[in-house]
Structure 1
């Protein structure tokens, strides 16, 4: 596994494993398989209601805790400072973990306007030793700029919707400027239409790869960390096999240009979560 260096001195795998809508014993089994195959970054959230399953898979694993990078996210209903601190503790208890490698504010919820308070809670939770790195999810540049100006602390990661139909160009440019790693949820676009694009099919044939592998490789080459979810061992294995080839700069640009004005599924200005 290759790694990105974070702006706080820690490092994070360049490819992660998503757990959205994975729950119960099925989730434990799927995550067990992923860890055994070589995934080291496991992404969860309070809203996914699966922190316990993630923790059980980690307990079952023969891989040392210090070799795993575990993420969870603070829900909007607990952005008030004291509630945020308590929720971080509850997240750790749920997963039977002593610390999270990364904890994110799940959505900015700008209408509620408590994300600055939540950010201060994450800063303090890091000082308390509950979290190694802190970041945000679905934040636009103006939201992050406010965090930096008010606290002097820059997020290490910004997890956003990102796929061939929405490359989050504005966010990526801001993140890169501030040494923030952009992480991609829905990196393969959940509906999967992008995998039928002629360009992607042509590149898959050229490199003898699957359309999904072409997309994931493109994301890593634009300095993005994808976190695909895959329940089958075959797809989990395939998603890991993206570091043995490289797209040309021209091909990377062509893939980025697949952007659509209506490509984004969820609007961070109105979404609450």
Structure 2
């Protein structure tokens, strides 16, 4: 299965659909990543706070795939933000992963009350110049947070990983972030525990197209210009979640997903603290 890519502002290409690894750990995580790679995924998303970078690294090695074919993302946790500690955190992540560089490094949360995310991004820019990071990005950043790191470094984040899904469409935020030249990557796009995949409009579109409701939701995001990192440890669902490019939603289908009742995000980046 071939997954299309998007060219980032760093010049590197990132798969439109990737594999999210939270909350798996240990051998279960390694086996799930191996299954995802066998299905055709080439982007694997992890984070220091997930506690599974070692398991992801094991899968990368066991897969036998050339490093150049893989796109590995990890993230800086809140407790490691700041000058000096950002470098040490990345070096520790690289050691756990068993890699010489990461393709994309994200600040996991801005933590504006802490006030160290611009210092972290500036140090990440140094690490980028040294070749330890291929592409700079952020996660859960609002436009004002992005503006602050750009003012500090002159480097626009290539990616902003945001919670975007049918119940959290966040159209205004997505438009603002994309308008600044940053690719939006949707985390938790399927809301598997909210019942949204049973929405009548989504189910009707899936039945008509002969796909799953999850595929409809992920295709809705892709047609909005987003990239996605869904998670499943089931190989069949893994394959389906990346098989998004042989069908297209109609305008009515898009409207059906747009019409899902909106809920406020529980983790507001303006106030959320996670270390």
Contact 2:36 2:238 survives alignment (8 Å): yes
Structure 2 stretches of 5 or more lacking a match? none
Rounded Cα–Cα distance in structure 1 between residues aligned with 2:237 and 2:227? 18
Rounded Cα–Cα distance in structure 2 between residues aligned with 1:154 and 1:19? 26
Partner of 2:87: 85
Partner of 1:272: 273
1:34 paired to 2:36: yes
TM-score by length of 1: 0.97
The count of aligned residue pairs is: 272
Rounded Cα–Cα distance in structure 2 between residues aligned with 1:64 and 1:192? 38
Partner of 1:210: 212
Rounded Cα–Cα distance in structure 2 between residues aligned with 1:155 and 1:272? 21
Partner of 1:125: 127
1:169 paired to 2:171: yes
Contact 2:202 2:253 survives alignment (8 Å): no
| Partner of residue 63 from structure 1, selected from 65, 83, 87 | 65
Contact 1:92 1:98 survives alignment (8 Å): yes
- Render the CA deviation track for 1:55-86: whole Å, top value 9, x for unaligned: 00000012111000000000111111100011
| Partner of residue 227 from structure 1, selected from 212, 229, 251 | 229
Q: Name the SS of the counterpart of 2:270 in structure 1.
A: coil
Rounded Cα–Cα distance in structure 2 between residues aligned with 1:190 and 1:263? 17
Q: 1:250 to 1:179 in 2, by over 3 A?
A: farther
| Partner of residue 8 from structure 1, selected from 7, 10, 15 | 10
Deviation (angstroms), 1:259: 4.8
Rounded Cα–Cα distance in structure 2 between residues aligned with 1:124 and 1:170? 32
Partner of 2:158: 156
Rounded Cα–Cα distance in structure 1 between residues aligned with 2:71 and 2:63? 13
What RMSD in Å do the two structures reach over aligned CA positions?
Answer: 1.1
TM-score by length of 2: 0.96
Deviation (angstroms), 1:7: 1.4
Q: Name the SS of the counterpart of 1:191 in structure 2.
A: coil
